[in-house]
């Protein structure tokens, strides 16, 4: 098992529960998320930047 740092951009959602689900789905494609955080919100592009630590 190794850990990796990843960054991803996710489309901003109106529903916070849908946003959380979209983030977790995106991170799961790269491994098992240990922790993640939204580090930036771009209102003009309607995107959020997420940084995470995942294990593979």
Question: Looking at residues 36-40, what average pLDDT do you find?
Answer: 97
Query: Could you give the CA distance from residue 46 to residue 29 in angstroms, rounded to a whole number?
Result: 22
Q: Has residue 23 got a pLDDT over 90?
A: yes
- DSSP character string of 7-54: EEEEE--SSHHHHHHHHHHHHHTTSEEEEEEEEEEETTTTEEEEEEEE
The overall average pLDDT reported for the chain is 94
Question: Looking at residues 4-32, what average pLDDT do you find?
Answer: 93
pLDDT band of residue 28 (cuts 50, 70, 90) is very high
- Could you tell me the residue ranges of all domains in the chain? 3-55
In this prediction, what percent of the chain has a pLDDT beyond 70?
100
Q: Has residue 16 got a pLDDT over 90?
A: no
Distances (CA, A) of 49 to 11, 17, 31, 34: 9, 16, 18, 17
**Three-class secondary structure of residue 1 per DSSP:** coil
């Amino acid at each position: 098992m190794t850990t990796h740092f990843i960054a991803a951009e996710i489309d901003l959602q109106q529903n916070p529960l849908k946003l959380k689900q979209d983030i977790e789905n995106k991170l799961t494609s790269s491994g098992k998320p240990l922790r993640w955080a939204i580090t930036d919100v771009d209102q003009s592009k309607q995107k959020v930047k997420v940084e995470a630590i995942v294990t593979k």
